[in-house]
Amino acid sequence: MLPRLVATAMVVLMVGASVAAREDKTIKGYVIDNMCASAHSSELAETAKGHSAACATMPNCIKSGYSVVSDGKQYKLDEEGNKKVLGLLKTAKSKKGLLVTIEGTLDGETLHVKKIAEVES
């Protein structure tokens, strides 16, 4: 009985820690596909700022998913965020250096997107 109680307590603690690790965020940054982000990691901020919508909507780039780069950090988007970004890339006024504001929940390195909007300059 004691081992089961200890195991249950450990599970509850781990679940609590993962929920506590989630953080609501509003991030303003530039969209980049993950394939290009990996290829240009040493100059990620500059690459994201000038990244074209034409590149980000190529089949392999779409498949890799998307990130937002803000203040030198890369935030990978969840599946729902990827869908929203793809729709935005196709309708955005900006064809290069898509600047967005995202509201979501940060869970580890993944941003679970609630809202996304293009920032118009």
- State pLDDT tens for residues 67-104: 999 998 999 999 999 999 999 999 988 899 999 999 99
Q: What is the mean pLDDT of the chain?
A: 88
Asked if pLDDT for residue 19 goes beyond 80, the answer is: no
How far is it, in rounded angstroms, from Cα 41 to Cα 24? Answer: 26
Mean pLDDT in residue range 49-63: 96
- DSSP string of 31-43? EEEHHHHHHTGGG
Domain assignment present for 8: no
Confidence class of residue 12 from pLDDT cuts 50, 70 and 90? Answer: low
Domains in the chain: how many in total? 1
Q: Is residue 52 part of a domain?
A: yes
Q: In CATH, what number is assigned to the domain containing residue 50?
A: 2.40.50
Are 101 and 116 spatial neighbours (Cβ–Cβ below 8 Å)? yes
The model's pTM: 0.80
Q: What is the pLDDT of residue 120?
A: 83
Q: Is residue 74 a part of any domain in this protein? A: yes
The reply to whether 38 falls in a domain is yes
Residues 6 or more apart whose CB falls under 8 angstroms from that of 3 comprise none
Q: Is residue 11 part of a domain?
A: no
